[in-house]
Amino acid sequence: MRHESRKDLISVIVINFNRLELLRACLASLNRQASVDAEIVLVDNGSTDGSVEMAGAEFGGGRFPLTIIRNRENKGFCEANNQGIEAARGEWIALLNNDAEAEEGWLAELVSAIGNDTRAGMVASKVMVWESPQKIDKVGHLIFFDGQNRGRGTGEVDRHQYDTMVDVAWPDGCAALYRREMLEEIGGFDEDFFAYADDAELGLRARIAGWNCVFAPRAVVRHHRGATLGVRSMRRVELIERNRVLLALKLFPWSLLCLNGVFYAARLAAGMWAAMAGKGEISRYPGWKTKWRVVGAMVSGDRQALRMMPRMLAKRRHIRRLRKISTLHLLRLLWKHRITLRELSQQSI
């Protein structure tokens, strides 16, 4: 049941699935937040490792009220977050991965970044790599013209090059702030995505509806990379490929969607060239046999996307009702926040 929102209250949603020690560190970091009125909504996707029991015992009486929602099965990132949003009471909805730890002041900096901008519906955090403290995970998002989205600044050493508060495309769902008013207008996460690219779909849908996103450089989170499915998981590859197609089908202008195959082919060719030089995402996978498994996972993702095409095309009609910007404005937005083919092919996520 949706609650009437409480002004200035931040509802932090944490999705969990069998990550007891990571969850403990995550919740401890939230309980160190200062100068904010907050609540924590923990949505568990059928954990069997005792992590939910630990959360209730150790944080049930913590600094902020803790609500726990228990699912019998893994409902994925999207549906679980929608459950959390439904239960949340705050004017602001923050997301924090259970494999991430927020630095003190994270929540206060996110809200402060909004300022008086009534059309700022999203705030992106400065997400750093937990295992390599000086390396950037993501500071907002970029997108390629076939629908593939990647982190802004991913893999770079932090030399304060991203310490300015600027407009970015949308936040990474690992650590983000959303205005409840915006979510009520455009809807929550698209549950057809299950996981991966869901934050990009939500963010681009919000931009189409006329909402903005700001980057808060002092809102810092440290993220354990690949803890959800593992950086070499074929299921991860499959979902990333499937969902980039779904995003394009649902949200891209027809003029760009018709060229999707061209941009996709260019990305694959650039990725193969980079792999031969030992660079890029595919270089993570040792041996040609494993690389062919990656290709198989991508083909499987494309097949799944084709089967889901009628549903995505039907959703385009709803997007038309939300639209507040012109097609030209949208194309300019995608161009402004593009990732180049060179960056995309050589970047390892």
What does each of the 349 residues of the chain score in pLDDT, given as a tens digit? 455 667 899 999 999 999 999 999 999 999 999 999 999 999 999 999 999 999 999 999 989 999 999 999 999 999 999 999 999 999 999 999 999 999 999 999 999 999 889 999 999 999 999 999 999 999 999 999 999 999 999 989 999 999 999 999 999 999 999 999 999 999 999 999 998 999 999 999 999 999 999 999 999 999 997 555 555 688 889 999 999 999 999 999 999 999 999 999 998 888 777 777 667 666 666 666 777 788 889 999 999 999 999 999 999 999 999 999 999 999 999 999 999 998 888 766 5
| Per-residue pLDDT at 348 | 60
Dist CA 127 CA 216 (whole Å): 10
Dist CA 121 CA 213 (whole Å): 6
| Per-residue pLDDT at 230 | 53
CATH 3.90.550.10-classified regions of the chain: 8-223
| Per-residue pLDDT at 1 | 42
- 252: DSSP letter: S
pTM value is: 0.93
Dist CA 113 CA 122 (whole Å): 10
Q: Considering the domain 8-223 in this protein, what is its CATH number?
A: 3.90.550.10
Backbone angles phi, psi at 174, to 5 degrees: -60, -35
| Per-residue pLDDT at 253 | 97
| Per-residue pLDDT at 104 | 95
User: Hunting for tokens 């030399």 — which residue is that?
Assistant: 159
Say how many C-beta atoms besides its own lie within 10 A of residue 334's C-beta.
20
| Per-residue pLDDT at 225 | 76
Pairing of strands 100-102, 212-223: antiparallel
Question: Distances in Å between the alpha carbon of 153 and those of 158, 184, 302, 344?
Answer: 9, 30, 27, 11
Dist CA 171 CA 152 (whole Å): 10
